[in-house]
Structure 1
Amino acid sequence: MGLGKSKIIRNLPDESQAALDYTTSEAGNPFVEGWYRDPGSATYDGVFWVYAAPSSASEDQTYIDSFSSPDLIHWTKHPNVLTIANVAWATKALRAPVPISRNGKYYLYFSANDIEEDNTGVVGGIGVAVADKPEGPYVDAIGKPLIGGYHNGAQPTDPDVFVDDADGKVYIYYGGHSHANVAILDEDMTSIGVFDNGTAFKEISPKNYGEGSKIIKRSGIYYFMWSEGGQASPDYCVSYAMADNPLGPFDRLGKILQRDSAVAQEIGHHSVIHVPDTDVWYMLYHRQPLSQSEENHRIIAYDRIYFNGDGTIQPVNMLVKDNFADGNMLDWTTYGGEWSVEDQRLAVKNTGGGMAMLDTDFSDLVFDATVATTSGNGHPGLLFRVTELSKETYKYKGYKAAISPTGVITFGKADLGTFTDLAQTRMDMAMGEEYHVRVVAIGSEIKIFVNDMDTAKITFSDESFTTGANGVRVFNAAAKFGFVSVAKPQSQG
């Protein structure tokens, strides 16, 4: 059950759009450019901040970058907010940044040196750095790890810091190697306190805990979340538990974010973005695109979290959208033609043939986009279930739903240069006018809608292609495409 009707915001938000009520990153995932992992987030004075480590070999993880946004659409990069030059004991594996503001200062908790065993004499673990402003520069606050050894079997890695509004206490959650701990941070934010029983670390490991601790509080309920499964395996995912206090017990309820063979793989190590003074929450996480096999080729993304009436969390649905409101086309690969983003549309100049493709693999789908021919007499349109394409000739195997400036709507299939018209119809159209095109493909039945989403212009049955990538295509035309969305039919979630 959702929390109100979502909407696409085309421009910077005005007062009526202050809730930032999106269904996903409406301008596309990834929402920033580059290979990144382990995102952490905070909101300072109405600005959203995301901190992330480079997704690279441990030896190359020597810095943290941050990104700021007033609207979760337009992002400004702030490079090297923390580097090993400002952490004397860190040499590598600088990652898992967690930001928080307290006492007029900005703190960044992090992992470094990737301590894999206890009592080895190697310095490393969880550190804390401090700065006078969100973009840093951050400097190591204590000259040594805040947590530098194993307690209760928990690897000192992947911290999260949480201020409980009930009593103002500050907690740090962390852990790896299947064990999770919670500890109290003293008022100075740079030292570990003790619980009433005199101990400093309390184990809270839920079933299947792996790494990536995260806690939030909503309506008096404490939600503890974590990643489980191997990072480079199909079972890597995010699960959660609920409790009535910050110390648990946290009994595992189930998975809420996992790989989707149509969208992305290796999903995990998340944070949460909460829009202040609303009940709008987003899952911020890293994932690997479907076409990538290199483990460190990860991107950061966010999708909406929805809560049920009883407070439980619905499985997070990774959506594929791009309204180009940020002026970028980060998740697109182009083949032929000159592509750019103009006025929140994906534009291509008149070309003999070209494609822009998303890294997806949908079988049954609902594929929406706006299409406008700006010059030429070709048939720009939507590609789906594309199984093969040539980078040299821009030819492909798959289906195309096209619309010409003279009003011809065509559904056909291509086989690396041989295009077969399967069905055609006609409607009144004008050069440059924008049309909403929708493809609904369920099994062999394929329907094409134009503007009227209640009555299909074309219905046809074909079994040539059952699954594949999505994109847009031009031939002998210049065109613009907008508000792209690819989703599974509602009955499939």
Structure 2
Amino acid sequence: MGLGNSKVARPSPEGSLDYTTSEAGNPFVEGWYSEPGSATYDGLFWVYAVRTGDVEAQTCIDAFSTSDLIHWDKHPSVLTPTNWVKKGIRSPTPISRNGKYYIYFSTIYTHEDDTDTGGGIGVAMADKPQGPYVDAIGKPIISENHNGAQPSDPDVFIDNADGQAYMYYGGRSHANVVTLNEDMISIRTFDEGTKFKEITPKGYVGGSRILKRNGIYYFMWSEHHCNNPDYSVSYAMANNLLGPFNPIAKILQPDGAVTKRVGRSSMIHVPNTDIWYILYHRQPLSETDKHHCIIAYDRIYFNEDNTIRPICMLVKDNFADGRMLDWTTYGGQWSVEEQRLTVQNAGSGMAMLDTNFSDLVFDATIATTSGNGHPGLLFRVTELSAETRKYKGYKAAISPTGVITLGKADLGIFTDLAQTKMDMVTGEEYHVRVVAIGSEIKVYVNDMDKARITFIDNSFTTGANGVRVFNSAAKFGFVSVARPS
């Protein structure tokens, strides 16, 4: 039997980097981070991010590198406070020129006094992407407000048309652009005699980002304050890198099924392709500390007219990185083995994702490796007790004897809603899919064209997703949770 004609979404061949999201799960690195910036150096993708916390905690930048966007190496503390920076390092932006590597960053405090000075943009330099980065000029490259723009959130871009380097930055609802000299650590004057040109689009708050594709300049920015639930990313398009940048749409905003807040984006571009990813930070649904953010990436898709489709934050984990970063376990002995989420036979156990889907399509492979239990998928789960492992929600399960069950749990009381049978073999993987739209729930096994179970029940309408075992050992793979198309 096995997977049969199952349509499990397998990762693309190694090297193509043609993914729909971080296929091995978001967050793609461990830890609380925010405001990621990215660059590609000599075939490696680099992400530089700030450890989250209050301003006293924001004292360094960590880096992560990868060749495949799946397996990431950590490079801690590549940039630490310089002689003029006291605390509040944020918004790292990496770029390379003339054999040197630069990180531009902003800070809200200096050694001169302990008051909020309105910010300052610094630049540090290194001989290698992993640093260490050393303050290049011993002071901010910009330390005062110009055109009302706070010196913060820099993004540096070298135009391939003429080799000129530009820095976009801003805060307090104003955005500027400046040109950099060839040394990358000093500002040159525009032909008309000014150094600072205002380019503020409507709705701009901060988080300037610029990219160029097909001769078009895309300017992106954050709207609303980072603690606002409407914190989001918008964009504009222009034929000129100085604008005007007239807003087109929001492309990244909170999704109540996945996250509370999103923002501070940058882009990952796979060289010599039209594959782009948006890199950003977001706050998990269960986190109440505003500083608890993770970094994630999702695919950017362009329309035929070069506009950008709204970003869909997908939930996937194929365990290709050997980790289970976004999973919380309740009972059982869980690990990742050979690209599968594996649990030993130790009574009951659950592994849960921090999601809150109502209508959904939930896919995974399931293999029972020992025992007579019934491993399965949990969905619309609420009121989960870490101590008793009781919960409210649905379970779609399969057993090694071939029984397919849809049931519901109500804090310890489990009710079978529907059952059917098919031939199964212990140890083989089966593709299980749950499609729940409103009160209609369908369960598929291997054949995605014909539901094995269709049942109407409106006991639970929304909740978390996960996997569960009972009196069995099992393996789960290629997990995906999404809204119905």
Separation in structure 2 between the aligned mates of residue 484 and residue 19 of structure 1, nearest angstrom: 21
2:315 maps to which residue? 320
1:130 maps to which residue? 125
**Residue from 422, 442, 449 that aligns with 2:444:** 449
**Residue from 22, 29, 33 that aligns with 1:32:** 29
Contact 2:118 2:151 in 1 (8 A): no
Separation in structure 1 between the aligned mates of residue 410 and residue 129 of structure 2, nearest angstrom: 53
1:9 maps to which residue? 11
- Residue 383 of structure 2 aligns to a residue whose secondary structure is strand
Q: Relative to structure 1, is the Cα distance of residues 438 and 97 closer, same or farther in structure 2, using a 3 angstrom cutoff?
A: same
- Provide Cα deviations, 1:140-199, integer angstroms capped at 9, x if missing partner: 000000011100000100000000011110000000000000000000000001111010
Report deviation, 1:254: 1.1
1:44 maps to which residue? 41
Gaps of 5+ in 1: 1-5
Separation in structure 1 between the aligned mates of residue 395 and residue 244 of structure 2, nearest angstrom: 53
Separation in structure 1 between the aligned mates of residue 376 and residue 119 of structure 2, nearest angstrom: 54
Separation in structure 1 between the aligned mates of residue 116 and residue 188 of structure 2, nearest angstrom: 24
Are 2:157 and 1:155 equivalent residues in the alignment? no
**Residue from 161, 164, 174 that aligns with 1:166:** 161
Contact 1:10 1:325 in 2 (8 A): no
1:75 maps to which residue? 72
> When the two structures are superposed, what TM-score results if normalisation uses the length of structure 2?
0.96
- Matched residue count: 475
**Residue from 363, 366, 370 that aligns with 1:375:** 370
Contact 1:19 1:278 in 2 (8 A): no
Are 2:57 and 1:60 equivalent residues in the alignment? yes
Q: Structure 2 matches for 1:13-412, cutoff 5 A? A: 13=14, 18-84=15-81, 87-114=82-109, 122=117, 124-412=119-407
Report deviation, 1:245: 1.1
Report deviation, 1:10: 6.9
Separation in structure 1 between the aligned mates of residue 199 and residue 9 of structure 2, nearest angstrom: 39
Separation in structure 2 between the aligned mates of residue 322 and residue 82 of structure 1, nearest angstrom: 31
Report deviation, 1:387: 1.2
Q: Relative to structure 1, is the Cα distance of residues 200 and 373 closer, same or farther in structure 2, using a 3 angstrom cutoff?
A: same
Contact 1:51 1:97 in 2 (8 A): yes
Q: Relative to structure 1, is the Cα distance of residues 190 and 22 closer, same or farther in structure 2, using a 3 angstrom cutoff?
A: same
**Residue from 475, 482, 485 that aligns with 1:487:** 482
> When the two structures are superposed, what TM-score results if normalisation uses the length of structure 1?
0.95
Q: Relative to structure 1, is the Cα distance of residues 121 and 427 closer, same or farther in structure 2, using a 3 angstrom cutoff?
A: closer
Report deviation, 1:112: 1.5
- Provide Cα deviations, 1:289-311, integer angstroms capped at 9, x if missing partner: 01111110100000000000001
Aligned structure 1 segments of 4 or more residues deviating by more than 4 angstroms:
120-124
Separation in structure 1 between the aligned mates of residue 433 and residue 388 of structure 2, nearest angstrom: 27
Identity %: 73
Report deviation, 1:405: 0.5
Code of the aligned partner of 1:219: N
Separation in structure 2 between the aligned mates of residue 9 and residue 447 of structure 1, nearest angstrom: 26
Code of the aligned partner of 1:9: P
Contact 2:119 2:150 in 1 (8 A): no
Report deviation, 1:232: 1.2
Separation in structure 1 between the aligned mates of residue 346 and residue 147 of structure 2, nearest angstrom: 63
Code of the aligned partner of 1:282: Y
Report deviation, 1:113: 2.7
Code of the aligned partner of 1:82: L
